[in-house]
Amino acid sequence: MTDLHTAAKRCLDACDPAEKLRLTHATWALLQAGELHPDPGSPASETIGAPGRPERPQLVPQRQVPHRGLGTPEGRAALVHAVAHIEFNAINLAWDAVYRFRGMPADYYRDWASCANDEARHFALLSDRLAELGHAYGDFDAHNGLWEMAEKTAHHDTARMALVPRVLEARGLDVTPGMIERLRAVGDERTVEILHVILREEVAHVAAGTRWFRWCCERDRLDPRETFLDLLRDYMGRNLRGPFNRPARLEAGFDEEELDRLTALAAAL
């Protein structure tokens, strides 16, 4: 098999986490070696549905996911599980971006395959930490918000690039420093170390979203700032939340004016 779209679909469809990680790392290695290419003759992408995932965790509405304190191993495990679930979803999101959107530049596919590879490594680090805390992925309920946005934006690459990496995944840039402080306060330096790795590398993933969102806007002769704000209003409703980690978002390609307007919009909701 030499078609990157088909290989991405295999990764996306894999239900067992270990198999998804194995396929992800193998696919990235083949792409780096020049053995995979997006084939213009590849079958058109299928209508988006649920990605491959294990039977557990049980998916519940976000408001039903319990919040636990970090003063106990159980509470810390619940937090690690929540982040692991985000990373597992992020693997699927990256591969869906490769599989679904055709005719993009080669660097687009390389960026998102690289992101998938990073997210798989993050998931493995968090899974190992969960095991150290006496748990495994699937032991706690989780919500499906990231993938629901993937379904809503499956029809257009501009909306996907704007709203998944630059809004939902970028939220990790905002909240992870606070999680690190709370975990450090209870002496969990092992989890802090993992979150530092994830935070550093997620900046590059959000930057990829910024880069390809702006590329889409240039292709379609759209103003990126106005288009981004329009998409936020159309898709996010009253769910946009601040405060925003300005240094990390600036590093990820946001500009000062954009962040000022984002802050004002969140305050007005």
Residue 269 has a pLDDT of 67
**Residue 54 clears pLDDT 90, i.e. is over it:** yes
Q: What is the pLDDT of residues 202-261, one digit of tens each?
A: 999 999 999 999 999 999 999 999 999 999 989 987 678 889 999 999 999 999 999 999
Compute the mean pLDDT over every residue in the chain, rounded to the nearest whole number. Answer: 94
Q: What is the pLDDT of residues 85-118, one digit of tens each?
A: 999 999 999 999 999 999 999 999 999 999 999 9
**Residue 80 clears pLDDT 80, i.e. is over it:** yes
Residue 41 has a pLDDT of 86
Percentage of the chain beyond pLDDT 90 is 84
The predicted model gives 176-185 an average pLDDT of 95
Structural domains in the chain, CATH included, are 4-35+67-268 (1.20.1260)
Tell if the pTM clears 0.75, that is, is over it: yes
Percentage of the chain beyond pLDDT 70 is 99
SS (H, E, C) the chain: CCEHHHHHHHHHHCCCHHHHHHHHHHHHHHHHCCCCECCCCCCCCCCCCCCCCCCCCCECCHHHCCCCCCCCHHHHHHHHHHHHHHHHHHHHHHHHHHHHCCCCCHHHHHHHHHHHHHHHHHHHHHHHHHHHCCCCCCCCCECCHHHHHHHHCCCCHHHHHHHHHHHHHCHHHHHHHHHHHHHHHCCCHHHHHHHHHHHHHHHHHHHHHHHHHHHHHHHCCCCHHHHHHHHHHHHHCCCCCCCCCHHHHHHCCCCHHHHHHHHHHHHHC
Residue 73 has a pLDDT of 87
